[in-house]
Amino acid sequence: MPVRLLLADDHQIVRQGLKALLEREGFEVIAEASDGREAVQRAGEVRPDVAVLDLAMPLLNGLDTAREILKACPEVRTILLTMHTEDQYVLEAFRAGMRAFVVKSQAVGDLVQAIQEVSRGEIYLSPGVSRTVVDAYLAKTDLPSDPLTPREREVLQLVAEGKRTKEIAGLLGVSFKTAESHRARLMEKLNIHETAGLVRYAIRRGLVQP
């Protein structure tokens, strides 16, 4: 039985290229998604063996997409695709339940190996990515925690994407007042009190592309 994959990336040309390459390697791409919310929905519908998620996706970033998928379908193994190699991204990926961290600048063989390893229950890191932070996480060493809740991170991403509070409320299925209070609380936690500062913070965190 070939490994069944979900591919999530907001660039159609990237998805098409990956699909062609991965199917040539014997994998079966059973679903695609162009944003994080669609990826969560498709994962619930088709139950892939492995979900390959881009970090910077509209509406819901790859990390929070992984959290939502694993909440609904704990058997799905998730792989993060990203340009970032800094320790904070590696740590957040494994905190989110990712099984592999693959750097986009590597050859496609790197992703192929990652899929093979995670489908066997292993953890995979692209060459050059520090294992130290993963080992520390797996050993449950004290590491700095994320100040924001998943919902606050979601609101932060939508603010950084230029969505107004009314739009955010609609996307999240909450009242205007609730969306407003999430926004106020995350600004207070981060000590950032203007939208431009929130956008810069979201870019640094890899939640949106500059």
Provide the domain count of the chain.
Answer: 2
Q: What is the CATH number of the domain that holds 71?
A: 3.40.50.2300
More confident residue, 10 or 84: 10
Of 138, 165, 181, the residue at which a domain comes to its end is: 138
Residues 70 and 167 in one domain: no
Number of alpha carbons in the 13 Å side-chain half-sphere of residue 140: 0
Domain assignment present for 40: yes
Give the containing element (helix H, strand E) for 30. strand 28-33
Residues 106 and 176 in one domain: no
β partners of residue 82? 103
Residues 163 and 116 in one domain: no
Amino acid at 61: N
Q: What is the pLDDT of residue 140?
A: 61
Q: Domain containing 59: what range? A: 4-138
Average pLDDT over residues 108-112: 91
Residues 42 and 82 in one domain: yes
Order of strands across the sheet with 50-54?
Answer: 28-33, 4-8, 50-54, 77-82, 100-103, 124-125
The DSSP code for 3 is P
Tokens of 195: 């939208």
Domain assignment present for 210: no
Residues 100, 145: Cα–Cα separation, whole Å: 20
pLDDT in tens, 146-205: 788 888 988 998 999 899 999 999 998 999 999 999 999 999 999 999 999 999 888 877
Residues 17 and 116 in one domain: yes
Q: What is the pLDDT of residue 144?
A: 59
Domain assignment present for 154: yes
Tokens of 100: 């592999």
Predicted confidence band of residue 104 (pLDDT cuts 50, 70, 90) = confident
Domain assignment present for 175: yes
SS3 content of the chain, % helix, strand, coil (to 5): 50, 15, 35
